[in-house]
Amino acid sequence: MKALVLSSGGIDSTTALCEAVEKYGKDNVISLSVFYGQKHTKEIISARKVAEYYGVEHIETDLTNMFVYSSSSLLSSSKEEIPKEEYAEQLKTTGGDSVSTYVPFRNGLFLSAAAAIAISKDCDVLYYGAHADDAAGNAYPDCSEEFNEAIGRAIYLGSGKKVKVYAPYVKCNKAEVVKTGLEKGAPYHLTWSCYEGGEKPCGKCATCIDRQKAFSLNGAKDPALEE
């Protein structure tokens, strides 16, 4: 059995990678990171470091061109500012729509690209770090449990029943993900979550807020704030 893990360099996918290495052994795990035109490359650098930490094969690819028509505030091509408030606040003004940092069908596209690579590299399972907090209130519709089931079925069938998708945290909140990672010793000191590409995490964007909350609910300090 071999696993391909979508690794963004953040908390959730690093925890997923940690679990995959524990289960399949480092020689049977491939880490895949996708650049897609973000405003910075800090996440990719983190993903690279995490793969090095575990000694797994690491693949980087680029899907920027698929988002050239998007106005997502996460993209360098967008002039929109990244909101400095938590998702729950942002969702009050979207009218049920996704948040401005939603990148159109990103998870679906990344999983499909990962499926193509997984088939070619003889991987049986595809890990990704979607969790329930991101799906809440439709902030990121491609993080929900029902989306995960549908894309999992599409990839299983479309790959000729060769590749299964596994989202270990799809029913968990971020604090539960961090709890798992802390127990298993995931290298959170190497990760990057902040939407901005500053020297230190900004502490104000939704993902910074969520991350800090998740550590604090576990009575732990975020190592990214310490260095």
Considering only residues 106 to 125 of the shown chain, the ones binding a copy of itself according to CB under 8 A are 106-109, 111-113, 115-117, 119-121
Q: How far is the CB of 33 from a copy of itself (least distance, A)?
A: 13
Q: Does residue 171 touch a copy of itself according to CB under 8 A?
A: no
Q: How far apart are the first and last CA of the chain?
A: 37
CA angle centred on 75, ends 209 and 226, rounded to 5°: 35
Q: What is the DSSP letter of 138?
A: G
Q: How many helices (H) and strands (E) does the chain have?
A: 8, 5
Assess contact for 126 and 4: CB atoms under 8 A. yes
Q: What share of the chain is helix, strand, coil (3-state, %, to 5)?
A: 45, 10, 40
Q: What is the DSSP letter of 97?
A: P
Site map for a copy of itself, 34-73, x if CB under 8 A? ---------------------------xxx-xxx-xxx--
Q: Interacting stretch for a copy of itself, rule CB under 8 A, among 8-16, 101-109, 186-194, 200-208?
A: 101-109
Q: How far is the CB of 48 from a copy of itself (least distance, A)?
A: 17
* Sites of contact with a copy of itself (CB under 8 A): 61-63, 65-67, 69-71, 97-98, 102-109, 111-113, 115-117, 119-121, 138, 141-142, 144, 146-147, 150-151, 153-155, 157-161, 163
